[in-house]
Structure formats: structure tokens, C-alpha cells
Chain A
């Protein structure tokens, strides 16, 4: 089971925002973050807890290991309005968190 908090947030351009994701059991660093804009396919932002996917802006960063993880956007931009999901791939069945909806 994956949990995410908050479920939604509203912030301003330039703000620093942090989301959290918690696993119900140990998952090492098999934790990935995705961004999904309305009507679009998800996009991988961070893999293996802290590795930035190629082409993703450097304002996105991830940290954590074990059961507790965070995604940080250092300076929020208008195009960051989206829902953010964490996903564990330590063991099957793989699971996604319920998501954090961000309104900029």
C-alpha cells in the first residue's frame, strides 16, 4: 500500500512545494514519481527515488529510501499543474499512490 500527502494543494508560481509518499513496507529505493496532466499519459519524473529522468527540469528532485519518500519542486511553474503519483516496483503487484493534485 502506498499513501500520499497531501491529496491536493494550491500554490503560487515560484513556491517551493514538497509532497510525501509512504510505503506500508520496506521498498528500498524502488520508488518512482510520475506527473499526469489532464487527458495525457503519465510522464516519468524521478526513478529509483532520486534519479532525474532525462529531459525533466532540474527543479524536480526526489529523496528517500525504505518507506518514506519526498518529491520537491523547487520553484513552481504554471505548467506544473497536474496530478503527481508515486509508484513502488520493489515487488509485485506494483502499486501506485492515490496521487497529489497540484493547482498553480
Chain B
């Protein structure tokens, strides 16, 4: 079945790094853009980053630009989120989500497949 499964979350100290992974299956992975969206405890959804279907275009929220890096490996059906200089305010559940389109234009068409999320806790 069509699914996304995140991994790599955990507890990390402020200023450290962490890499999240998103494994896709059940669909033509290379045809779709993929987002990362996070949700802090008790808060709403926050869009984090987007990578286009072929990895050539990447977009970030202002809150993570310069600290986080999104990438993908279409040969492995994987998307990654490299997070550096982590802050306590980065504590959240991180979801990867498939865009309905390719995301090559910097516009999205809705996120129709979501993973269950992986939890990142930034604390000393």
C-alpha cells in the first residue's frame, strides 16, 4: 500500500544535529514532491521544507533556513531532513508528506499521503 514511514527521531541536546529519514513505498516515488511538516506538543501544524520530485528544488521555512537541509535519494525511495544547531523550540513530531504534484515550480497541490511521524526532543 501507499505509505511513508519516518525514522531517526530521538532526544538530542541543544546545538547538536540529527538526521530524519522518510521511507516511501507503494507508489512511483520519483514523480512526487515531498514535504516535512512538524507539530510541537499541543500546537498546530508547521510546514518545514519541501523537495521537488527530482531533488533539484528545495524550499524551507524561515525558522529552519540555514539550519535544516532536505534531500532525497530516488534510487532508494528515501527523503532526508538533516537538522543542525537544534534548539528547544524544534521539539516536535516531524511528519513527511507527499505532495499531489512534482513541486518543481515552488507551488504545492496538497499533501495527500502522510507518515505517522517521528518525535524529536531537544533538551539538555
Contact = CB atoms under 8 A, between A and B. Distances in A.
Interface string B80-111: 00000000000000010100100000111111
A96 interface: yes
Interface of B: 35, 37, 44-47, 50, 59-62, 95, 97, 100, 106-112, 114-117
Contact of A93 (B45, B59, B112, B116): B59
A98 B112 CA distance: 20
Contact of B109 (A48, A92, A93, A99): A48
A99 B46 CA distance: 11
B114 A93 contact: no
A64 to B, nearest CB: 15
Given A41-B115, A89-B110, A93-B61, 7 more contacts: A30-B109, A41-B117, A47-B109, A53-B110, A83-B44, A87-B111, A93-B47
Tell me which of B112, B115, B117 has the highest count of chain A C-beta atoms within 10 A of its own C-beta: B112
Top 5 nearest A-B pairs (CB, nearest first) are A89-B108, A47-B110, A41-B114, A92-B59, A32-B110
Interface of A: 30, 32, 34, 36, 41-44, 47-48, 53, 83, 85, 87, 89-99
A55 to B, nearest CB: 10
7 contacts: A34-B111, A41-B115, A42-B97, A92-B106, A94-B50, A94-B108, A95-B47
A48 B47 contact: no
A28 to B, nearest CB: 9
B101 to A, nearest CB: 9
